[in-house]
A = this chain, B = another copy of it.
Amino acid sequence: MTPQRELVLGVVRSLGHATPEQIADAVPEVDPATVYRTLELLEDIGLVRHTHLGHGAPSYRPAEDDHVHVVCHACGRVLDAPADLVDGLEQRLLGEQGFRLDRAHFTVFGRCGTCGPAGGTAQASGGTP
């Protein structure tokens, strides 16, 4: 564990979820290339995990955060739902297809209650440009 790795891990822990770029920005003293290499390493040794929250960049977070990611197409908000939300799905996939669901690497898309069934868009930040 080098200082840079501690820093990156610290940022991942403090940000909750963040893209490599956000992480790199948060630790300007560490080279972006090192951030990428470190994230890969931290993931290999099981300290962090990543998820694809849509479009481009993956989102990294501490491995101990076990929850399901729910993303609103309209406002871009990322909600964290309890992991047990997918228990039923997990059972069915296992039973019907022998497929072992990886809950951590899992994102659900749709429209949050705030944004309503359609049209109304309670803009938060990113959204669906």
A83 close to chain B: CB less than 8 A: no
Number of copies: 2
* Residue from the list B52, B55, B98, B117 in contact with A112, Cβ < 8 A: B98
CB of A102 within 8 A of CB of B109, answer yes
For the side of the interface on A, what is the size category?
20 to 34
A67 close to chain B: CB less than 8 A: no
A5 close to chain B: CB less than 8 A: no
Cα A100 to Cα B109 in complex, Å, equals 8
Cα A127 to Cα B96 in complex, Å, equals 22
A101 close to chain B: CB less than 8 A: yes
49-76 of chain A: CB within 8 A of chain B: 52, 54-56, 70, 72-73
CB of B73 within 8 A of CB of A97, answer no
Q: Which residues of chain B are near A93, meaning CB under 8 Å? A: 70, 81, 85, 108, 110
Q: Which residues of chain B are near A110, meaning CB under 8 Å? A: 93, 99-102, 105
Interchain residue pairs A-B with the least CB separation, the first 5: A98-B113, A88-B88, A102-B110, A101-B110, A105-B109
